[in-house]
Structure 1
């Protein structure tokens, strides 16, 4: 029997439980060699940008200083040629860095997105009470990609930015000490401004992202409910709900924008003042004959380059607060304990026993008490009957391990307690469930029928079951027959056909334990008879349990348990 396929994810979950933003990057970015190749090319590109102003200044100096004509012309040609070579090199580096960036961001963002989704899918059922799929879809996707984008750009901005600022200051120091001092003062002032605004930016960013996710959840709810609202003409009701969601979002948008604008205003004021000082100092030095005219252009260009690097670094501070929000929200999900799960992988059980079983439904907090002893064995076709709300479907979910934290008593497969059993492995290989309201996934009819059976399904058996359950009409309506595409919105499939697909899925899976929840509620007479005949055959080598109100199906059962 194969073991649990995603055991690595549990190990990852335990190690990520106390994760910080940096450790997200360690997990998904810092082990990738492509990141360091990207950073190397990016730094080289930024250093090339520092060569151009110096060469430009040299060119202007040659044109303005009277020297030997031949020597000056040769120097001028060399400077112009060097400027062209540097520009070409920068373009090539920019091309490759952009390609590597996209590759890094796409793969890292997807992996964090997928791992977070896998963790969420393993959370306890109570987490999904009132679950807003739109909200979490927007949150997980946005936060995962935002965090990885920020990680890559952070490495680039910090390493490249610091290198650029240091090199620019060194070059400015060689040109003029006063100008270098003014530029350094600007950097210090910018750091102080960020320190002043950091808390405000984080709080406003957190509120904005939370409200945005809630709004998109409300928006998706509108789209998912189009058929329902059209049927009952609830246009005004849903419009008011969307307006209410926007009314909650807009104040957060405005507050976040105000905080960001104030931060930018303070930075821009410092930058403008520094530029004025550099122009004044440079002009005085030229008049005094202490600096060539060309190097004034070089100095101003270095200041502009250093200023851009500084803006990126300060913007990093602002972006850090926004990405810190993303990290906090992801950490909030990862901090939730996954559903309790055992470690034993059982084979093909011959008996299933429930003793003193009570299940608390997490969606209603209603406790359902079952008979003191319920036994299911091979060789017997079991029916479970009872009034609506008596817990028939809940019993099937319980013995399939879907309520690990919400039951008391004993559920045992061949004397192995359910709490010790790997419930994911159990449902993958031991238990098959045909739901009363099954889902159809985007894909072909064949893929839907063999969804639970894996790649090694019996090909001939598919056609035989399609004939037995009268799905030939559906097959004939699809352009490619069994390989025709169904869609999740079920536009081309009826309720009875969905139920037949769910039954065939379980029969093709051929798991040792087969559970059917109201399997005949939408079946025609011929399909009902076919199902009864098949179950009578399956019971000899399987534990077979059907929940039903259907008198004909219950009559065919060897033993009926009344709830």
Structure 2
């Protein structure tokens, strides 16, 4: 539909100058008022159709642009969801959100504008050229020369526009990241009086983006100046040529009006393609940045899908990030029916171990992790494992924007003992205190929930999700003694068909577990 409306719009635009030329010739020839009115009515009808088609075309473009931009945005984000966690763990959310959104929007804008613009301007070059050829052919070589000047100017500036455009967009993304940090770190800023420090960081980021912006705008101005210079010179030459032809009676005033109007239309179209060249380089920058994200290989999402996990054997496991050795030659064994504790000082690799067992780190470790004595962890479909076999309660608790119910269930069906579990962990009183009960909206910025209440939510949703392996990372750090004891009692009562691993600094809790492994440095004791 966009193509059809675009072709109609371009045909209507090309017809207008021809009618104006006929109108002027009719005036000079002292045509009858009926003929003049006839031409005016046709022109009025033409303008009305142009407005109507333009309105429909604009609405259609907005609708397609909005949907397509969202589609590209979401496709890139969903692709990032499928990347290995050790590839995305260091991504800055502010930087990449701004980068993906801006790049996706510009790519879609370029495609839609080019799709309609190229058609309109090709028609605006070809049809006027045909009319000019029939009226006064000798002027066509001059038009061709003007178009070639635009081609040479674009070729000379193309590489410079791409390089400065890349630096400009990267500078914008980095500045947006620093700008976002002014709000995301506001608690830290207040607690440690870091306003001046963060202001300095923002000023440095601004200085960099200002430098790249000015450099980009310099090149863009030179580019647009070449456009204006070529256009002005051509207009002067064509006006002079037209005046000379009229003075020698080589062309009528009406035909000259048509020719000059069409020459102006051709030059305008040539300028469009010239500016399209700049937009092309800007869009190629966006395309390169999107392609960079899509060039990473997605997570291995096929492989073996065992019904359960009865044993996990870790053999000579070593983990390294860049030059930092996190774990070295670790050997462990876990079995179903036991609750294991993993203890140790901060930085000894406890959370890293959890991430490996959950299949989040697949490319940064050496050694073997064997399940059920015969299956390597690397052979298992990680998505299937995380969905059906393993449930992890992370140390950093994230609430999803939505109701408390949706945060507890996380898309799973409500189990029969759902409300009994809530009551057991003391969440029934929390729910009763909320304005809309379990349907109250919560998120990470909801101040109605304490740290302990959020931790209870994290524990319950881990239990509801289920699986034969339950992993908890510091699950009792914000719990009161009663809830901690209930948590441990629950696990003891349900461990028969479960393998439970708890990372904790809580000595009282660790003393009540079946086995405890202490991590010191990069080794196990």
One fold, TM greater than 0.5? yes
* 1:191-202 map, 5 Å: 191-202=151-162
* 1:273-284 map, 5 Å: 273-284=233-244
What's the TM-score, normalizing by structure 1?
0.87
Q: Distance in 1 between matches of 2:352 and 2:150?
A: 61
Residue equivalent to 2:344: 386
Report the 3-state secondary structure (helix = DSSP H, G, I; strand = E; otherwise coil) of the residue aligned with 1:388: coil
CA contact (8 A) 1:340 1:404 kept: no
The answer to whether structure 1 residue 47 and structure 2 residue 5 are counterparts is no
Deviation, 1:523, is: 0.9
**1:34-86 alpha-carbon deviations (Å, 9 max, x no partner):** xxx2122112101101111111211221122035xxxx333223211211221
Aligned with residue 419 of structure 1, among 378, 400, 414: 378
Q: Distance in 2 between matches of 1:327 and 1:148?
A: 10
Q: Distance in 1 between matches of 2:63 and 2:376?
A: 47
Aligned with residue 220 of structure 2, among 260, 279, 284: 260
* 1:140-155 map, 5 Å: 140-155=100-115
CA contact (8 A) 2:73 2:101 kept: yes
CA contact (8 A) 1:285 1:291 kept: yes
Residue equivalent to 1:405: 363
Report the 3-state secondary structure (helix = DSSP H, G, I; strand = E; otherwise coil) of the residue aligned with 1:170: helix
Q: Distance in 2 between matches of 1:228 and 1:174?
A: 75
**1:161-186 alpha-carbon deviations (Å, 9 max, x no partner):** 11211111112222222443332321
Residue equivalent to 1:480: 436
Residue equivalent to 2:20: 56
* 1:146-185 map, 5 Å: 146-185=106-145
The answer to whether structure 1 residue 457 and structure 2 residue 421 are counterparts is no
Report the 3-state secondary structure (helix = DSSP H, G, I; strand = E; otherwise coil) of the residue aligned with 2:496: coil
Structure 1: runs of 5+ lacking an equivalent: 1-36
Aligned with residue 133 of structure 1, among 68, 80, 93: 93
CA contact (8 A) 1:348 1:430 kept: yes
CA contact (8 A) 1:339 1:405 kept: no
Report the 3-state secondary structure (helix = DSSP H, G, I; strand = E; otherwise coil) of the residue aligned with 2:315: strand
Q: 1:413 to 1:434 in 2, by over 3 A?
A: same
Deviation, 1:315, is: 0.7
Deviation, 1:363, is: 7.1
Q: Distance in 1 between matches of 2:395 and 2:166?
A: 41
* 1:342-353 map, 5 Å: 342-353=302-313
Q: Distance in 1 between matches of 2:94 and 2:25?
A: 62
Q: Distance in 1 between matches of 2:64 and 2:481?
A: 57
Report the 3-state secondary structure (helix = DSSP H, G, I; strand = E; otherwise coil) of the residue aligned with 2:319: strand
Aligned with residue 503 of structure 1, among 459, 465, 472: 459
CA contact (8 A) 1:340 1:405 kept: no
* Greater mean deviation of Cα atoms: 333-342 or 262-271: 333-342
Deviation, 1:306, is: 2.0
**1:253-296 alpha-carbon deviations (Å, 9 max, x no partner):** 11111111111111111111111122222222233333232233
Residue equivalent to 2:394: 435
Q: 1:407 to 1:376 in 2, by over 3 A?
A: farther
CA contact (8 A) 1:548 1:554 kept: yes
Q: Distance in 2 between matches of 1:97 and 1:556?
A: 71
Residue equivalent to 1:101: 61
Q: 1:192 to 1:387 in 2, by over 3 A?
A: closer
Structure 2: runs of 5+ lacking an equivalent: 520-525
Q: 1:475 to 1:373 in 2, by over 3 A?
A: closer
Count of residue pairs the alignment pairs up: 518
CA contact (8 A) 1:341 1:420 kept: no
